Structure 1
Amino acid sequence: MTKHDFTLFLFFSAVASATFSDEQEFSESESCNEREFDKSHFYSNVKYCGEIPLTLSHKLIDALPLDEVEGNFIRAVKGCVFSESQPTPLKEPLTLAAVSQDVLRNILDLNESVVQNEEFVGCVSGGKLFPGSIPLAHRYGGHQFGYWAGQLGDGRAHLLGEYTNRKGERWELQLKGSGKTPYSRSGDGRAVIHSSVREFLCSEAMHFLGVPTSRALSLVVSEEPVRRDPFYNGNVIKERGAVVLRLAKSWFRIGSLEILTRTGELDVLRTLLDFVIKEHFKSIATNDPDKYVVFFSRVVNETAHLIAHWMSVGFAHGVCNTDNFSLLSITIDYGPFGFMESYDPNFVPNTSDDEGRYSIGAQANVGLFNLQKLLEALKPLLTSDQLSQSQQILREYPQIYHQRFHELFKAKLGFLGNEENDSHVIAFLLKLMEDTGADFTMTFRQLSEVTLSQLQKGSIAPSVWALSDLSSHEYFRDWVQLYVQCLLSVESDSDAARQHRMQGINPRYVLRNWMAESAIRKSEKNDFSEVALLQKTLMEPFMNQDEAERAGYASKPPSRAQQLRISCSS
């Protein structure tokens, strides 16, 4: 296999040139400036979670300009970063469907017994506020499917405030599905049980896979009806509303900066960027004249690493718009995502993506596109020399991505050292997997569970189903010979040590769409047992678990998995 072929299997290609729509004009004249927030006025209209020992702060309000216009009515917003926006409580009765005990204890410093408190559901669904909370909706824009979409913003999310835990970590708490904001456009501000179950489970699953991600504390489900047209075909259905309380070190994204450059609000842009660097990129000196270049370099590097990590677990985000790409390079905004089953670089989890722009094989390329848009947003703040430096940094993105991809896949195959033939063995395997449609997750996992002797002899039992599928390829034995040679080149290594290494990086369980769908169907009937089982399983994805095996989570996907369709509508 040639070096060119290898590059193709690493899913990277040059960005095609494109022409984008002109900047969307704002039709309203409301302005917003930095102001003293009137807390007494705000507090007079809200209820508090007095019995939950969790107090939030509001550093964002103190540091960044707020919208002067009050109210949740839809409008064009200018001159600020956030708008005050109170959540709209879901209609009762409410059900606490799931809680992450890891987030509860290790991020929020709360005792497990707190979930028994009657106030807890109100706190995590928007019916009540934590002490110190001043809910905000964030204003941002973005390129969606390659085109500038103008003002977007938190259309159904409310940032409650920041919590600093006993380890000194600062986490921003946000409700998703908590009602209308000034940025809701034509939406109703709600999320439904289908998408909320998926977001809750996948946020936690990705964390335990070791992928940088937002987290999820809780899932609350209501009987309140929410109407959706899931496949945009006029077939409107009624679903139940739900709210997820999610957390991140920051929710700022590329679109947070884009909107300010597009509207010429350069003072606000500088203020926001300085705040982000001071709070989240502490190794960058605030008085460094090149701090924006250094910041851009860090985001380029970490974005490349994040997408390579996605690829290593077969994760396709589904909607890689600039408004969904974090400045901290964590995975955010779980929508029509999917974990690839049969290996296919053209796998598209989102049925709304007719052209396959966000296929799994295109994610690295889309990352480059989004970083180009980030550089365009930074451009007004850069000197000509700094712009030139930043453009050179961006040109290095493919190499950074390829190197990290290579390192991760070497580890997935148990390789030590740096053999010249490693790249060929990786690319060869991916080609065999593509030709045979072998399962991505279980091919690597089962390679970690068989001995080299079994591989060489071809004694693969039918129960080792993914490897069995792979072994049907006419060149499988040729690949095995190359693979074994690479492993045996490290004399100090042993087969048992290889298996142990590989089982620590190749999961046995990921959140496949058919598994999530099964849990969702039960949840719609108020049976959250499978949500709980999946949550438990995905907390230890590298460990064999009896309940998960009985549920078939490591078995060949059922035939119905092929018919599942996930869209942007949620």
Structure 2
Amino acid sequence: MRALRFDNAMLRELPGDPESGPRLRQVDAAWSRVRPTPVAAPELLAYSRELAAELGLTEADVHDPGFAQVFAGNALLPGMDPYAGNYGGHQFGHWAGQLGDGRAITLGETVLAEGGRRELQLKGAGLTPYSRSADGRAVLRSSIREFLCSEAMHHLGIPTTRALSLVGTGEKVVRDMFYDGHPQAEPGAIVCRVAPSFLRFGHFELPSSRGNVDLLRRLADFCIHRDFPHLLGGRASQPLDELQARGAFTEALYGEWFSEICERTARLVAGWMRVGFVHGVLNTDNMSILGLTIDYGPYGWIDDYDPDWTPNTTDAQGRRYRFGWQPRVAHWNLGQLAHALSPLFAGVEMLQAGLDRHAAAFAEAERDNVARKLGLAECRDDDLALMQRLQALMQAAQADMTLLFRTLADIEPAQPSVDALREAFYDEGLRRAHEPAFAAWLRDYAGRLALDPLHADERRARMHAANPKYVLRNYLAQQAIDRAEAGDPSGITDLLEVMRHPYGEQPGREAFAARRPEWARSRAGCSMLSCSS
């Protein structure tokens, strides 16, 4: 396997823990050195060929026996310098203190041939100083879900961390899936996830909560210099310490940086709402500074449209992280980040401006969602009401979100027929009961299309580009998990291949676009998920 070039800026530029190793402890630094714990029998189960190529790895590199050894944590490439990041966070609305990478270990930051860098991080690689009462490992089922969804989101065009590889460990991991006193030994696995940065809101919350303004400021300067270099213009190529000595990091720059974080977050969440993705555990430690989807735990995909649905059993009572609340929670989380960054500002004006930018950016992105999903050239104010009426009908009739919007593109405006939407309904009685209301909505929609400048072919292409035919429905992922746990990982690769082209028709693969089968309505892993992995 060929070598990669590493430049581990975080270790070079930010203060680290003087102690190395996995002993549990409170750490007043940005990171702690820790080595992955070797596993018994690493086996490559799946990989992303696109991401491998981006990193400069060939097919021969991936299939070299050394690849599985490295990305299981049994061996290191020259230049790798493993560490775990230190951060805190608000969990379910409450401050949780120090959290950190409890089962994730960053191998290093590799530099791409065409510029830029990527952090390579193993999830499930063993104990770290932040593992608390856990074992630092991950089970196969959750690892498959993270691997598949990372890549599915990328191909949907939604900002996300990526997944390079999925490696089986040859070891068992004991987990109590629903925390109900029934632990079981499950096969273990490790995902190598990849991102330009794994910095989270919680990285800044922790030093701020401790009154460590020096570390807070150094983190902010480092993040701007490495991850937002465009904000520095032509100065970005200068060493960080020189820029700091010259006073380049001003309050105005911090304000511009926070404002961009807010806008990126708004556009990220709008993307989730467009395709029906529910993160499931939007704690501040699971929010990326770069506006990436990060930490695929108890996520889910909307089948029958329900804005109150959450896939996370831990959240079943309060439903804080339900589908329809994701924009609200993201704004709340940004408020906590603003509070954490406030020691860098003389007043609140710039922070409030960032939060206002978030609200405006989300409203703009939502209008764009409405226009694209309905096949309109632009979204007028009354189009928002038209969409809200449709969503209310979908919820009342238990219509499948993905199927209905995809089928809507084929409606003939001159003769809009509810019967054309038949496959989107889960309950025939509910469909018949709401058929008059859907017919009335379709007539109003057809009238709106008559006023729109897009031609029929343009409208259909616009809608197909916004409304995926294939999404990673929970039951599809569970079927791949069942096959893998029985010793056949080919279902992972088969499903990944479908998810590479979510907006295309893919003749012969229509079964992957079918609505949720009845057996999956209440099965564990299909509708009920937990943080256990």
Tell me if both proteins adopt one fold, taking TM over 0.5 as the criterion.
yes
Paired residues for 1:347-426 under 5 Å? 347-354=309-316, 355-384=318-347, 387-426=348-387
Are 2:100 and 1:157 aligned?
A: no
Are 2:261 and 1:328 aligned?
A: no
Aligned residue for 1:478? 440
State the alpha-carbon separation in 2 of the partners of residues 523 and 56 from structure 1: 33
For residue 495 of structure 1, report the CA deviation from its aligned partner. Answer: 1.3
Query: CA 1:372 to 1:347, structure 2 compared with 1: closer, same or farther past 3 Å?
Result: same
Aligned residue for 1:82? 31
Aligned residue for 2:151? 204
Query: CA 1:310 to 1:458, structure 2 compared with 1: closer, same or farther past 3 Å?
Result: closer
1:91-113 deviation line (CA, Å, top 9, x unaligned): 11x221101001011x2111112
Aligned residue for 2:496? 535
1:424-467 deviation line (CA, Å, top 9, x unaligned): 2111111111111110111111112343345x244527456589
For residue 496 of structure 1, report the CA deviation from its aligned partner. Answer: 1.9
State the alpha-carbon separation in 2 of the partners of residues 194 and 512 from structure 1: 15
1:46-93 deviation line (CA, Å, top 9, x unaligned): xxxxx3332322111111111101221111111x1010000001211x
Query: CA 1:82 to 1:430, structure 2 compared with 1: closer, same or farther past 3 Å?
Result: same
1:246-296 deviation line (CA, Å, top 9, x unaligned): 100100000000000111111111111001011111232344441111111
Gaps of 5+ in 2: 233-247
Query: CA 1:57 to 1:363, structure 2 compared with 1: closer, same or farther past 3 Å?
Result: same
Q: SS where residue 230 of structure 2 aligns?
A: coil
Residue type of the partner of 1:336? Answer: P
Q: Aligned to 2:482, which of 521, 525, 540? A: 521
Residue type of the partner of 1:138? Answer: G
Are 2:205 and 1:244 aligned?
A: no
For residue 176 of structure 1, report the CA deviation from its aligned partner. Answer: 0.4
Identity %: 41
Q: Aligned to 1:563, which of 516, 522, 526? A: 522
Paired residues for 1:114-513 under 5 Å? 114-285=61-232, 286-354=248-316, 355-384=318-347, 387-454=348-415, 456-460=416-420, 462-463=422-423, 472-491=434-453, 493-513=454-474
State the alpha-carbon separation in 2 of the partners of residues 419 and 144 from structure 1: 38
Aligned residue for 1:19? none
Instruction: Report the aligned-residue RMSD.
Output: 1.7
State the alpha-carbon separation in 2 of the partners of residues 460 and 289 from structure 1: 57
Aligned residue for 2:239? none
Q: Is the 8 A contact 1:205 1:535 kept in 2?
A: yes
Residue type of the partner of 1:568? Answer: C
Residue type of the partner of 2:82? Answer: P
State the alpha-carbon separation in 1 of the partners of residues 488 and 193 from structure 2: 22
Q: SS where residue 491 of structure 2 aligns?
A: helix
State the alpha-carbon separation in 2 of the partners of residues 362 and 459 from structure 1: 32
Residue type of the partner of 1:421? Answer: D
State the alpha-carbon separation in 2 of the partners of residues 466 and 568 from structure 1: 28
Are 2:43 and 1:95 aligned?
A: yes
1:177-200 deviation line (CA, Å, top 9, x unaligned): 000000001110000001000000
State the alpha-carbon separation in 2 of the partners of residues 140 and 330 from structure 1: 17
State the alpha-carbon separation in 2 of the partners of residues 446 and 309 from structure 1: 20
Residue type of the partner of 1:135? Answer: P
Query: CA 1:464 to 1:83, structure 2 compared with 1: closer, same or farther past 3 Å?
Result: closer
Q: Is the 8 A contact 1:445 1:507 kept in 2?
A: yes
Q: Is the 8 A contact 2:262 2:355 kept in 1?
A: yes
Q: Is the 8 A contact 1:125 1:220 kept in 2?
A: yes
State the alpha-carbon separation in 2 of the partners of residues 297 and 82 from structure 1: 26
Between stretches 337-346 and 166-175, larger displacement belongs to: 166-175
Residue type of the partner of 1:324? Answer: N
Q: Aligned to 1:69, which of 2, 7, 19? A: 19
Aligned pairs, number: 511
State the alpha-carbon separation in 1 of the partners of residues 270 and 504 from structure 2: 23
Query: CA 1:461 to 1:324, structure 2 compared with 1: closer, same or farther past 3 Å?
Result: closer
Gaps of 5+ in 1: 1-50
State the alpha-carbon separation in 2 of the partners of residues 480 and 147 from structure 1: 44
Aligned residue for 1:55? 5
Query: CA 1:420 to 1:485, structure 2 compared with 1: closer, same or farther past 3 Å?
Result: farther
Q: Is the 8 A contact 1:217 1:246 kept in 2?
A: yes
Q: Is the 8 A contact 2:309 2:323 kept in 1?
A: yes
Q: Is the 8 A contact 1:318 1:338 kept in 2?
A: yes
Residue type of the partner of 1:236? Answer: P
Q: Aligned to 1:546, which of 496, 507, 513? A: 507
Query: CA 1:470 to 1:164, structure 2 compared with 1: closer, same or farther past 3 Å?
Result: farther
> Given the two structures, how large is their TM-score scaled by the length of structure 1?
0.87
Between stretches 465-474 and 133-142, larger displacement belongs to: 465-474
Residue type of the partner of 1:380? Answer: P
